[in-house]
């Protein structure tokens, strides 16, 4: 069985991302799939500033998705100011809570709304009159969208290939961008990943759960997927970070879009 854990950070641009990602899931999976959803509302100040889309997302999923998808469930709806853990830990903790129910040959996918706080500048923009900081910000936003789209393609749309790797090889996790752009730390940059049920049962072994600062949002990426016993990671797609936004990478994105 496949279990998906979907972390939704309901900031500014999340609603469109959620609609896209749920459509990818609906169109891509042919096997029985349980989708566990967590909605994290932003801070009170962001809500006041009208940067919160949590209610809109909750209403849309409740009315447009759940009545037609019996294996989709909203497991939690929490507010950033009152949760006692940071960001993605609100969803990763559910994997830990559920790990004893996983069969060894189950496959678990974790995804999130990467890019929720960034606009999507797909179009070409004249940078001649922009400051250096503005150009850097623009490049980050563009790369963030490409980064997200690549993870969605290889880990959601090509899910059968990922599941086959878990079932037929020695690898117990599958992701993209292993070690990119993180230096001296073996993780899947972007934090989308698959794992086997057998491996999931051993998570938070080294370091153990009490040694991890879950109030630090970065530990969700640096101290989760790599904390199980005998971790054997596989990266289905890698490209150096400094190649993002180049002609080669833009060509790859066009090839991905043309396949759909």
CATH number at residue 252: 3.90.550
The 8-class DSSP code of residue 187 comes to S
Q: What is the DSSP string of 135-146?
A: HHHHHHHHHHHH
Q: Report the predicted TM-score, pTM, of the whole model to 2 decimal places.
A: 0.85
Work out whether the CA dihedral 195, 199, 205, 207 comes out positive or negative.
negative
Residue 95: give the domain boundaries: 2-258
How many distinct structural domains can be found in the chain?
1
CA–CA gap between residue 81 and residue 45 (Å, rounded):
10
Each residue's pLDDT tens digit, 126-180? 667 777 656 655 665 666 667 788 899 999 999 999 999 999 999 999 999 887 5
Lateral strand order in the sheet of 173-176: 72-79, 33-41, 2-9, 107-112, 193-196, 173-176, 233-237
Q: pLDDT digits over 220-232, tens only?
A: 988 999 999 999 9
How far is residue 258's CA from residue 260's CA, in Å, rounded to a whole number?
Answer: 5
Distance of alpha carbon 257 from alpha carbon 260, whole angstroms: 5
């Amino acid at each position: 069985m496949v279990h998906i854990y979907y972390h939704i950070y309901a900031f500014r641009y999340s609603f469109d991302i959620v609609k896209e990602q749920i459509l990818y899931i609906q169109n891509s999976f042919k096997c029985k799939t349980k989708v566990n959803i967590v909605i994290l509302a932003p801070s009170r100040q962001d809500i006041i500033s009208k940067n919160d889309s949590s209610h809109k997302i909750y209403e849309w999923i409740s009315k447009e998705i759940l009545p037609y998808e019996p294996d989709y469930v909203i497991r939690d709806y929490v507010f950033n100011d009152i949760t006692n853990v940071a960001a993605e830990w609100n969803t990763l903790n559910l994997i830990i809570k559920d790990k004893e129910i996983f069969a060894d040959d189950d496959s678990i996918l974790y995804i999130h709304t990467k890019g929720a706080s960034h606009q999507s500048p797909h179009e070409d923009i004249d940078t001649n009159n922009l400051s250096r900081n503005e150009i850097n910000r623009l490049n980050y936003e563009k790369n963030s969208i490409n980064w997200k789209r690549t993870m969605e393609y290889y880990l959601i749309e090509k899910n059968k290939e990922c599941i086959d790797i878990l079932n037929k090889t020695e690898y117990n996790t599958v992701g993209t961008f292993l070690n990119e752009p993180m230096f001296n730390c073996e993780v899947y940059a972007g934090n989308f990943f698959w794992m086997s049920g057998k491996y999931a049962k051993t998570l938070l072994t080294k370091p153990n759960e009490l040694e991890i600062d879950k109030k630090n949002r970065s530990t969700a990426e640096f101290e989760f997927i790599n904390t199980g016993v005998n971790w054997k990671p596989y990266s289905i797609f890698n490209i150096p970070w400094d190649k993002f936004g180049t002609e080669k990478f833009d060509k790859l994105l066009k090839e991905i879009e043309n396949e759909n």
